[in-house]
Structure 1
């Protein structure tokens, strides 16, 4: 591990593990404050691979986006011959994935309390010319004050106004149909993914699903959005309207992140169940 990192931080127990690296809890040698350090083993990544580009892209993107109250903050980056170390804000409470696993569904006000800061984070990304491209509950964290923090920018891409992106990235349940189709796409893929997150919070299951990645992609491609009466009978019309506008296959008609934030359900307290 980097000597400079060990000089500045006391690295402690492992708190997470991914494809190429490990996340440790660490403490600042100066302030004693708690942080997380993401340690990535560069030797596991081919020099000419897309993942190698993502390796350095994540830190760059996080610097572009910082500071923002709803985006995980980056503090330091260290590199040695074999590893890249990214020191991040430490969120020591559960992520949205675990919160969903521990309960059946969210009420509309509870879902709203997640969606407002999430969409504010996504809108900030888009204004700064960054598409996250992997919005999902696992990447939606909460700190010890229950503030939402959007995390994991390893798949993020920078773009300019009107510029399209390429590449199949994301997670099957949450990926937008234009990505599945292999077409060029814009930042609205994040709005689609956030719409899936909202649907899951209210229904307890995804809007498009299957028994394999292939089947999931097929249902995503069809984008046949349904609201089963057994689940959605108590969900307000405003919520369903917002879901239709976020999970709209026609990208030209799909809401932008800023438009989502102005929708009556987002500004009116979550709607009255009807």
Structure 2
């Protein structure tokens, strides 16, 4: 069942005529529209006058048939046109939109992810039974409450702007009394899970995955969006399609405002991301741009073809210098020269010389036909991996390193001097 049709029930949309106060005694008749998590006012010509995300509002009853909505910038008073029943219908709709009870609309199930500021649960919709993922950020964060709200609103805005075939779909966003909630398309598993299960990725398989990731990232950069936390566990497989990738978790993403025709290298300064995937310019605490995403994709491609990371667990920066990726292990002997060339291009230290996502898609590796058979490729590369035993296996080793990356993914770069 398509999750695109999910909503939180009858309160998802309501519209009607209301009166708003103008000046001390004046009034104006306008159209009020409530659609899921957005409240807006339009004039008679359907021109939007004012709008706000319901997560940013407080509302309460005014005089007879009057609803007061207050955000950080203004207070709006709406007098509902019609009888008391119409007012009650509006009140209930706004109550459901601004402070919905999660369990009235979704049935949360197992925990599928947890971060520093959010947790993700699998759930199904009571409206149509569709499977979704609920990303929840606690509103009771003390002195950090304003930061959590800004992070939530930014993630909603960026994820909506990023929507495409290979980006996880955002279905709804709202606030309950305790949490800010994003309702998202649910993938079956992550690329990390997939890599754990396989002996190795063939170049043919890796080519299909990397084509999707580079193409989607290139499109994001055209829209002025930098993900800033691309990694194996932020890439999902669409349900029933292990080779169909979805970029997820735009909690660290931001708008660069970059001209798509230019390669910006000095847009951001914020310390976000996961050490193993961080580009060297971020370790040097310099301004950085969309090219950090290309570097992270180089790390991902390296991992797909070798099931190891190209750098130590603490990242590509040691003792004040860049650590060159290693291609000397036996597993790389059966990987094509063009594949290694592409990885090196994505992992260049200088962001100005690093391949962009668009340039990487033009690399000869994507137009090559594998000279080796699929079975031969698998057999040759599998033999290059360490032997399995009860206490040590390539899968366990890779998973241990990946989990260690997660454990240190939120450390503060500003605490380190280089």
TM-score (structure 2 length as normaliser): 0.59
Q: Which runs of 4+ in 1 moved over 6 A?
A: none
In structure 1, the partner of 2:312 is: 209
Alpha-carbon deviation of 1:104? 4.3
Alpha-carbon deviations, 1:95-147, whole Å to 9, x = none?
A: 11122223343221121121111112211211111100111101011022222
> Which of 82, 105, 115 is matched with 2:178 structurally?
82
The alignment of Structure 1 onto Structure 2 pairs a total of residues equal to 268
Report the structure, 1 or 2, having the larger strand content: 2
- Runs (5+) with no aligned partner, structure 2: 1-95, 259-263, 378-418
Give RMSD over aligned pairs: 2.5
Q: Map residues 1-274 of structure 1 onto 2, 5 A cutoff.
A: 2-3=99-100, 5-44=102-141, 46-47=143-144, 53-66=150-163, 68-92=164-188, 94-144=189-239, 145-146=241-242, 147-161=244-258, 162=264, 164-210=267-313, 213=314, 217-218=317-318, 221-269=321-369, 271-272=370-371
Separation of aligned partners in 1, 2:289 and 2:140: 32
Separation of aligned partners in 1, 2:144 and 2:324: 41
The answer as to whether partners of 2:228 and 2:272 remain within 8 angstroms in 1 is yes
| Shift in alpha-carbon separation, 1:53–1:6, aligned structure 2, 3 A | same
What secondary structure, in the 3-state scheme, does the structure 2 residue paired with 1:87 have? strand
Q: Which has the higher contact order (CA 8 A, sep 6+)?
A: 1
Separation of aligned partners in 2, 1:43 and 1:220: 40
Separation of aligned partners in 2, 1:109 and 1:219: 37
Separation of aligned partners in 2, 1:207 and 1:226: 6
| Shift in alpha-carbon separation, 1:156–1:248, aligned structure 2, 3 A | same
Alpha-carbon deviations, 1:139-166, whole Å to 9, x = none?
A: 0110222221111111111111246111
The answer as to whether partners of 1:208 and 1:219 remain within 8 angstroms in 2 is no
- Runs (5+) with no aligned partner, structure 1: none
Whichever of the two has the greater Rg, that structure is 2
Alpha-carbon deviations, 1:180-225, whole Å to 9, x = none?
A: 1100011010000000011111122111114xx3x75318941313
Separation of aligned partners in 2, 1:216 and 1:43: 37
The answer as to whether partners of 1:203 and 1:232 remain within 8 angstroms in 2 is yes
TM-score (structure 1 length as normaliser): 0.88
Separation of aligned partners in 2, 1:57 and 1:195: 27
Separation of aligned partners in 2, 1:15 and 1:89: 13
